[in-house]
């Protein structure tokens, strides 16, 4: 084994070899060579998956140097990038060209290729997952050839979130739009009962809304509200109250014992989309660092019930949970998306770094909401058996048939 690990350190990759191509041509040669030698291969980017989704016993291919913008097309309103570019780097460059992505992950440090492959999402009741912005993908197939999948290709929706099963993504073409500004205000102590009684209204009240809890209190101790504004607005949008809640008077971290220095700007000060939509700044270590993460997607209509049930087991979870975040995601047509075919509430957990205890907690959570048909995030921890995971994605059998046909 190479001894390489993921970002959190909980996954030691079992690959016997690793490589780091500098060009797409070199990537094609590596993939062709691995296939010719009978070695399976997988790509890694920012290594921010907590599951073993990127692991392989064969060759681990790091995409971190394939991080260039290939083309920005203002007429077509699209950008083509190499898969290893981070959302932070892409966002800054697009903004300089007067363009934007509609949504971003909470961490700007993750790569476009990795986020798309695992169905990672941002936030906002009208905003689908990040992979929904994909217009086309060039996969490097087993013999090193580039296989292009685009929206005008049959079964495209099965090929976008592909978990590495269709090859290694070399290029992705994404939708863009004119750049915009965002303000961010954090409010304190939203009573959980009020939130659940008006969950759809609250989650849809701004461009992006995130509710944070530790499951120990009957409140969401923080509500992060991101509002979209026209570019160039300079007046802070600092509301004295929202839903009767007072805003924090100084920046805060969602884990209240930690410094807010790593968090994106708050207090209603307008700023470009790529500096406000993520929760964290590109220049700082992402999130807590010493942690494990899990996330479940449930039908938005059932989101309140799922939250109630998890809150009821809060005392059991409390020693392990650093913070939990509730977000809303719009439905999409991507076969392996957590939001496939249904508007979604995403319930995210950031746990302490104690994997045996965390896996026990996940079994408790999954049992509590099992009949609500939760779908786990592909890049995070879950206790479900593989056949149970597969059953939660209605097009999973179609996906496996697509992979078999593409070989």
Strand pairing class (59-62; 41-44): parallel
For residues 183 and 269, the answer to whether their CB atoms sit within 8 Å is yes
Mean pLDDT throughout 380-398?
A: 97
Residue 157 is classified by DSSP as G
Over residues 254-286, the pLDDT tens digits come to 998 889 999 999 999 999 999 999 999 988 866
* pLDDT confidence of residue 229: 87
pLDDT value of residue 231? 77
Q: What is the mean pLDDT of residues 143-156?
A: 94
CB 193 within 8 A of CB 218: yes
Beta strands in 242-355 (DSSP E): 271-272, 292-299, 321-329, 344-351
Per-residue pLDDT reduced to its tens digit, 163-198 = 999 999 999 999 999 999 999 999 999 999 999 999
> What local confidence, expressed as pLDDT, does residue 288 receive?
53
The residue among 323, 300, 308, 309 whose CA lies nearest residue 106 is 323
> Are the CB atoms for 287 and 171 separated by under 8 Å?
no
The share of the chain scoring above pLDDT 90, in percent, equals: 90
DSSP labels, 32-57:
HHHHHTT--EEEESS---SSSTT--S
- List, for residues 50-85, the tens digit of each pLDDT value: 999 999 999 999 999 999 999 999 999 999 999 999
Reported as type and span, the H/E element at residue 138 is strand 134-140
Confidence of residue 243 (pLDDT cuts 50, 70, 90): confident
DSSP 125: T
- Position 177 scores a pLDDT of 98
Spatial contact of 383 and 322, defined as CB atoms under 8 Å apart: no
Give the three-state DSSP class for 261: helix
Q: How far apart are CA 407 and CA 405, in angstroms?
A: 6
* Whether pLDDT at 226 is above 90: yes
- Is residue 404 very low, low, confident or very high in pLDDT (cuts 50, 70, 90)? very high
Q: What is the pTM of this model?
A: 0.95
Q: What is the tens place of the pLDDT at every residue in 293-339?
A: 999 999 999 999 999 999 999 999 999 999 999 999 999 999 999 99
Specify the DSSP element, H or E, that contains 222: strand 219-229
How far is it, in rounded angstroms, from Cα 162 to Cα 86? 19
* Tokens found for residue 229: 């504004």
Please state, for a pLDDT cut of 70, what percent of the chain lies above it.
Answer: 96
What are phi and psi for residue 58, nearest 5 degrees? -95, -105
- What is the distance of C-alpha 332 from the center of its chain? 15
Give the CA distances from residue 324 to residues 11, 202, 222, 345, in Å, rounded to whole numbers and listed in that order. 22, 17, 11, 13
Angstrom distance (rounded) from CA 258 to CA 11? 25
Q: Give, as one character, the DSSP assignment of residue 264.
A: P
Alpha helices in 122-236 (DSSP H): 192-197, 199-203
pLDDT digits (tens, 9 = 90+) for 20-53: 999 999 999 999 999 999 999 999 999 999 999 9
- pLDDT for the residue 235: 65
Give the CA angle between residues 275, 137, 71 to the nearest 5°.
60
Whole-angstrom distance between the N-terminal and C-terminal Cα of the chain? Answer: 27
- CB-CB contact of 225 with 242 (8 Å): yes
The confidence score (pLDDT) of residue 237 equals 65
């Amino acid at each position: 084994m190479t001894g390489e690990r993921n970002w959190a350190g909980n996954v030691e990759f079992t690959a016997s070899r690793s490589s780091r191509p500098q060009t797409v041509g070199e990537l094609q040669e590596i993939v062709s060579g691995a296939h010719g030698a009978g070695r399976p291969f997988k790509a890694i980017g920012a290594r921010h998956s907590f599951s073993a989704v990127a692991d392989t016993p064969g060759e681990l291919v790091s995409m971190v140097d394939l991080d260039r913008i290939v083309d920005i097309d203002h007429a077509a309103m699209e950008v083509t990038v190499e898969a290893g570019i981070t959302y932070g780097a892409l966002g800054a460059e697009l903004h300089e060209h007067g363009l934007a992505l509609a949504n971003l992950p909470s961490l700007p440090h993750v790569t476009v290729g990795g986020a798309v492959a695992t169905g990672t999402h941002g936030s906002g009741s009208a905003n689908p997952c990040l992979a929904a912005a994909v217009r086309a993908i060039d996969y490097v197939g087993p013999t090193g050839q580039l296989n292009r999948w685009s929206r005008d290709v049959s079964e495209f929706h099965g090929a976008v979130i592909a978990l590495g099963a269709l090859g290694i993504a070399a290029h992705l073409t994404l939708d863009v739009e004119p750049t915009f500004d965002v303000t961010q205000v954090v409010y304190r102590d939203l009573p959980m009962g009020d939130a659940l009684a008006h969950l759809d209204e609250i989650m849809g009240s701004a461009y992006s809304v995130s509710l944070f809890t530790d499951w120990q209190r009957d409140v969401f101790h923080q509500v992060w509200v991101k509002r979209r504004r026209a570019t160039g607005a300079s007046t802070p949008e600092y509301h004295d109250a929202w839903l009767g809640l007072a805003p924090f008077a100084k920046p805060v971290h969602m884990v209240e014992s930690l410094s807010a220095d790593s968090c994106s700007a708050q207090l209603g000060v307008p700023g470009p989309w790529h500096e406000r939509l993520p929760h964290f700044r590109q220049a700082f270590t992402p999130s807590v660092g010493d942690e494990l993460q899990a996330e479940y997607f449930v039908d938005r209509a059932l989101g309140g019930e799922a939250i109630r049930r998890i809150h009821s087991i809060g005392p059991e979870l409390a020693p392990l949970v650093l913070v939990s975040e509730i977000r809303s995601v719009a439905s999409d047509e991507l076969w392996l998306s957590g939001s496939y075919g249904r508007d979604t509430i995403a319930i995210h957990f950031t746990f302490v770094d104690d994997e045996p205890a965390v896996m026990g907690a996940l079994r408790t959570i999954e049992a509590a909401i099992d009949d609500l048909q939760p779908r786990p995030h592909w890049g995070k921890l879950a206790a479900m058996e593989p056949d149970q995971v597969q059953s939660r994605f209605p097009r999973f059998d179609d996906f496996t048939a697509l992979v078999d046909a593409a070989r």
